[in-house]
Structure 1
Amino acid sequence: MLAEIFNQCETEMKSSISHMLRDFKTLRTGKITTSVLDNVKIDYYGTMTSLDQVGSILVADATTIVINPWEKNLLQQIDSAISKANIGANPNNDGVQIKLFFPAMTVEQRQESVKQMKGMGETAKIAIRNDRKHSNDKIKKLEKDKLVTADESKSAQENIQKIT
């Protein structure tokens, strides 16, 4: 019973951390990555689809991304979706591919990225604290229901703290 609680707590905490790391990848840093387009979706035959599912996305250099859609009729949709996403670059549609030129980051943009990153980290910390509290509450309930002893409960709560 306690092992299940430990495993579930550890899984939830790892999930919170991996979610935070995924969010970090969407932030723009000095060198551009294709992950800035992860949240950009287009309507592809009635389904909201991410850009990497409808074409190839390549990083041409430190400030340029090239999108080659597999279907040329999607160029306009991709163009408008990128414009609406407000990722800091204007799409350049040449009829065959879309090029995104990202300007160098300003000091303000870097500070904003740091602020967003701190917020994401704080959200992850709160999620981990909630996971720990939820697990400790389960252990206390088991103790209250006399399914574990007080010593086992205290030891289990200390182990949950170590996992954190």
Structure 2
Amino acid sequence: MTLRNASRKPMPAGLGWHPYFPRHQGVELSFAASAVWLNGSDSLPHERLPVPPQWDFARRRALGHVGLDNCFEGWHRQASVHWPQAGVGVEMTAQEGLDHLVVFTPPAPQDFIAVEPVSHLNNAINLPVPQAHGIVVLGPGQNMTRTLRMSIRLDGSGAIV
């Protein structure tokens, strides 16, 4: 994905993907991160903490209904969603510059989840130093490019589709 500043003035920029996946019984999630932002009453990040055990998906495990709508930092830019009953999974590998991962797991009975590699912390544009949270300032005519690879894996075969 590429964003180009076609104006004559500098502009703040950020990019990200927001893939949604079906939440079938037993869906599993895997990604490693060093920190997570807790949301305030306005549903925007306000406090950065180490990842608590209940939100630690460094080892693939059942997602359940943990109720996340949070931005993770220090993730290794690799995540997977796996449906063991169907024998299929999706692996995501993000390029440097997609240094945040938003995970959205709405409460039941919602039937979807989202695992979202993004360049910046939610609401970073409104923080005192947006660039410290992933926002990039593009000069006139400059581009920002970020790459995400998504692969489908079939259990047992190792096949990538």
TM bucket, shorter chain: under 0.3
- With the length of structure 2 as denominator, give the TM-score of the two structures: 0.21
**Greater relative contact order (Cα < 8 A, sep 6+):** 2
TM-score (norm. length: structure 1): 0.21
**Structure number with bigger Rg:** 1
Q: Higher helix proportion, which one?
A: 1
**Could you say which structure has the higher strand fraction?**
2
